[in-house]
Amino acid sequence: RHQVGMMPRYYLKFLGGAAKVNALVGIAPDSHGTTLSGLTNLLPYFPGAKDLISAATPGLADQIAGSPFVTRLNEGGDTVPGVHYTVIATQYDEVATPWRTQYLSGSDVRNVLLQDLCPPDLSEHVAIGTVDRIAFHEVANALDPAHATATTCASVFS
């Protein structure tokens, strides 16, 4: 199951992880589920498709916006006390869609859009977590805020 965006939040919220975790950094997480660029909206028009997805790829079914898993995860708020959250998103994400649903709400949340830091950054869902140096810089800033430095387009070359 590929639920990297939801799995750490589940751990924090339901498995006692909040007592062990200081900071959570999400890179392009599907925090509130995904429509897969609108494809999940077509499921009602294909009888049996949702059941097939649930049977073949239960992790994918759990990530559909509005699924019981997503609903339970977000009930009572996106965050737990004592954990610092950072979400790094890209407006070009084609998997965690709509991209704004990646963001979390809470008093100790910092939501970052790559294109606010560097408008020409064209990273999408895969690139943001594998090759985007601006995203990596923001991860370092979130995990070591005492030594954080400004992130700009020039961060690509540092």
**Per-residue pLDDT tens digits for 35-72:** 888 888 888 888 888 888 888 888 888 888 999 999 99
Q: What gap in Å lies between CA 31 and CA 5, rounded to an integer?
A: 6
Question: pTM of this prediction?
Answer: 0.89
Mean confidence (pLDDT) of the chain: 91
156 pLDDT band, cuts 50/70/90, is low
1 pLDDT band, cuts 50/70/90, is very low
Q: Which two tokens stand for residue 89?
A: 């998103």
Looking at residue 51, its pLDDT comes to 85
Start-to-end CA distance of the chain, whole Å, equals 35
User: Which domains occur in the chain, in start order?
Assistant: 7-157 (3.40.50.1820)
